[in-house]
Chains A and B, each alone.
Chain A
Amino acid sequence: MENKSSKKPLFHIVKIDDISGPREWAIRAAAIIAALLLCAVITTILTGDNPIEIYKTIIEGAFGSQRKTWITLQNISILLIISLALTPAFKMQFWNIGGEGQVLIGGLAAAACMICIGDSLPNYLVIIIMTVSSIAAGAIWGLIPAFFKAKWNTNETLSTLMMNYIAIQLVAYYTIVWEVPKGSGKIGIINQNTSAGWLPNVGNKYLLPIIVAALITAFIYIYLKYTKQGYEIAVVGQSQNTAVYVGIKVEKVIIRTMILSGALCGLAGLLLVGGINHTITTTIADGQGFTGVMVSWLAKFNPIAMVATSFLIILMDRGAGEISTAFGLNQSFADILTGILLFFIIGCEFFLRYRISFTSDKKERRESK
C-alpha cells in the first residue's frame, strides 16, 4: 500500500474477502434508508409534497384493498416465475437476456391454441395442449441460443437478445392475422363468450399464478441446492475447465439448463395469456424478461431472496400509480423514486465487496507533501 509518488492518494479501495453476516445486512439496511431519505428530499424539493404521505400512498396502492392486494401478489408471482426461470442460466454464467422472447413465444403458443382449437376440442384438452405447447415453445426459444453456444461457442448475450426481436415480430405478425375487427391491429379477449382455453379459477382469479410461483420457487431452490444437476450448473458457472476436469459434459449442461430456463419462461407466457390477459400483444411481457435479470442478480440467485426482490420492484410499481392518483404527479415521478432506490441497492454491493481504506498516517502524508 505504500505509495512513493509525490501525490499521495487520500484513500485506497480494498477488496473484502469475507464479509460477516450482520455487517452485510447493516450495509443493505443503510442503503435502503439512505435511498428513502434521498427520495424524501427530492420529493420535497421537486413537488413540495410530504414524503411520508407519499410512502404511505405507495403502500396503499399495493395493499389498499383486498383486490389491490391480490393483484399485487399476482404481479409478484409472474415476475418471480420469470426471475426464477432465468436464474439457473445465470448461475451457469450463461447470459440469458432472452427471457422476454421466451415469455412472448410461450404466450403466442397459448394464444394460437386458444384461437385455433378453442372451439373444436373439449376445454380440458385445450388447456393441456396449451400448457405443453407453451412450455415447448419457450424451451425451443431457450434451446436455439444454447445449442449454438454449446456447439460453436457463439455469444449467447447477442443471440438470446436477438431471439427477443424474432418473438416480438412473430407476435406482431399474428396480431394482424388474428385482429378483430379487421384493420384494428388488436386481438382483444380471445373466446370472451366461451372462455375456451382460459385457465381455470383456483379459488379466485388471482390465485393460480401465485400457487405456480410458490411451487416453482421451491423447485428451483431444491434443484439448485440439492440435486446433481444443480451442482453441475454451479461448477460450470465457477469454471468450465474444472467442470471438464471432473468429467462434467459442459455442452449437455448448457443445453439442458437453457431448456429448463426457456420452458419456465414459456410457462410464464402461458399464465399471462391463458390465465390473466386472455389476449396476446407484443408488450404483454412488459420488459419483465429484463427486470427478472435484475431481480435474480439482486437476490444473488437465491430463490427465497428473490421473493423479496420481486416484491420490492412490484411494490414500487403498484405504488407508482397510487402516488399520481393522490398527488396528481406524472408517472415518471414514481419511476424516479424507483430508480433512486435501485441505484442505492445495487450501489451498496460495492460496499459489500470493497472497503475504502484511507491513507493511514497523517505524518506520512505531511512528508509526502
Chain B
Amino acid sequence: MKKMKKFIALALAMTMTLTMTACVKKEAAETAAAPADSAAAQEAPKEESAPAEEKADDAAAPAAASDLKVGFIFLHDENSTYDLNFITAAKAACEAAGVEYVLKTGIPEGQECYDAACELADAGCGIVFADSFGHEDYMIEAAKEYPDVQFCHATGTKAHTEGLANYHNAFATIFQGRYLAGIAAGLKLNEMIDKGEITADQAKMGYVGAYTYAEVISGYTSFYLGAKSVCPTVTMEVTFTGSWYDETAEKEGANTLIQDGCVLISQHADSMGAPTACETAGVPDISYNGSTESAAPNTFIVSSRINWEPYFAHIIDCAENGKAIETDWTGDLSTGSVELTSFGAKATAEGTEEAVEKAKAELEAGTLHVFDTKTFTVEGKELTSYEADVDTDADYTPDHEVIKDGYFDESGADFRSAPFFNVQIDGITLLDTAY
C-alpha cells in the first residue's frame, strides 16, 4: 500500500510537471511567433504599449578599445522594427568603435526612463541614448542630475531651448527619403496612366498616418511632392490611426483608402497592416523603414529608412576625443543617415532607379529642395512666409520664420533637427483628424 501511494504521488507530480512544462513551452512559442507580425517603422512619439517591467537587454562588447561605455534606452525590444532599427545600429556602431555598451529595452515613456537613464549613468556610462519621443522629458531630468554624462535623444524637440550643455537631440532629413520614394510612386502612377489602367485624374494615392503630428505631416507632404514632381495631376488622401503600431487599424485604413479609389498606398506607422492589405488588393505600395518585399512581392516598390549608425559613430567619436556633441544633429543623404531600400522586382516602374538617383544627386548638391514653395500651394496661393512652432510649448505658439530662399527650411540648421512642417497643402485631403 505504501509503495502504491508513493508511486501514485510521483506519477501525479510528474503529470503536473509535464503539463506545466508543455504550457510554458507553448507560451514561449507564441512569444517567438510575435515578431513575425511586426513591420516597418521609424518615428517619434511612440505608442505607450510597453509593459511596465523595467527590462534590459544587453550584450557586453568584446575587448573595449577605450573605457567609454554607452548606454541605450529603447521603448520596446527587437520585436518592434522601430526599435530594431536603433538596436542594430547601436550594436554595429559600438562594435566598430570597440566600446562597451548596455542595451535597456522595454522602457516606457515615464519615470522608468529617468530611472533607467540614472542607472546607466550610475553604472559608468559616458553617453546615454534614448530612442522614443516620449522619453525626452525624463532624459532632460536625468541630464540635469548628471552634468558629466552626455544624454542624446532621437526625435526630441527641446534640446535647443533647454540650455543644457549635456543634452542633445538628433534626427535625420527623412523627408528627403520620402521625397525620393514619392518619385518612385509618381513614376508608377505614370506607368498606370500610360497603360490606360487609370486616367490622369484618377491618379490618387492613399497614405496611412499615425497622428496629425508634424513629423507625419512632413512625411506625407514630402512623399506627395515627390510624386507630384513627376506626375503633376496626382492627389492624395490621408487617414490617421491614432497609434504608432496598430495592425488592424492600419489594414482597415489602407482598405478604406483603396475602396475610396486610391491606386497606390504609402504609410507612416509601424505594422505590416498597410503592405499586406495592398498585397491582397493588388495595389502598389511604398512602405517605410525596411523592405516589405518578402511579405508583399507583387506590390512592393521601395521603402525609405533612417540609418542611425552614423549618428552613434559620431557621438562615440565626440565623447572619446572630448569634442562637444551638437545640440541638434540632423543626418541626411550625405551622412548616410537617410536611405532607400532596393526596389521591388515586380511592381517598380521602368526608369525609376535612374530618376531617383538623379533627384538624389540634386538634393545632395542643394540645387533641389523638397519643400520648394514654387511646387505647392496653400489655399490656392504660394506660401511666402510661415511661422512654425519650433520652440515647443503647451500653447503651440508659432515662433520662427522658416521660409527662406524660396523653400521651407525643414529641419534647418538654424532651427531644430526634428521636423516642424505642419502646413496643409493643396492636393492632399485629410479624411479624419481626430488624432
Contact = CB atoms under 8 A, between A and B. Distances in A.
B213 A330 contact: no
Contacts of A324: 55-58, 105
Contacts of B58: 324-326, 328
A331 B53 contact: yes
A62 B150 CA distance: 26
Contacts of A287: 52
Nearest to A287: B52
Interface stretch (B136-144, B277-285, B327-335): B136-144
Contacts of A286: 51-52, 108
Contact of B57 (A42, A325, A362): A325
Given A189-B137, A321-B106, A336-B24, A328 B52 contact: no
Interface in A168-192: 176, 178, 180-186, 188-189, 192
Most A CB contacts (10 A, CB to CB) among B49, B58, B111 go to: B111
Contacts of A298: none
A38 interface: yes
B102 A182 contact: no
A249 interface: no
Interface residues of A, number: 55
Q: Chain B interface: which size bin?
A: 35 or more
A321 B56 contact: yes
Contact of A186 (B45, B54, B393): B45
B4 interface: yes
Nearest to B5: A358
Interface string A312-329: 000001101110111010
Interface stretch (A15-23, A85-93, A131-139, A273-281): A273-281
B104 A277 contact: no
A10 interface: yes
Contacts of A201: none
B339 to A, nearest CB: 25
B265 to A, nearest CB: 21
B8 A334 contact: no
B138 A185 contact: no
Most B CB contacts (10 A, CB to CB) among A184, A286, A320 go to: A184
A300 interface: no
Interface in B1-46: 1, 4-5, 8, 12, 17, 20-21, 24, 27-28, 31, 44-45
Given A38-B20, A181-B214, A331-B53, A282 B1 contact: no
A343 B58 CA distance: 29
B102 A188 contact: no
A273 to B, nearest CB: 10
Nearest to B31: A332
Nearest to A276: B111
Contacts of B52: 283, 286-287, 317
A355 interface: no
Contact of A281 (B48, B55, B133): B48
Given A38-B21, A282-B48, A331-B53, 4 more contacts: A10-B8, A184-B211, A281-B110, A320-B55
25 contacts: A180-B396, A183-B214, A184-B133, A184-B213, A185-B242, A186-B133, A192-B137, A276-B110, A277-B111, A281-B110, A282-B48, A283-B49, A286-B52, A320-B53, A324-B105, A328-B57, A328-B59, A330-B57, A331-B53, A331-B57, A332-B28, A334-B55, A339-B24, A343-B20, A358-B5
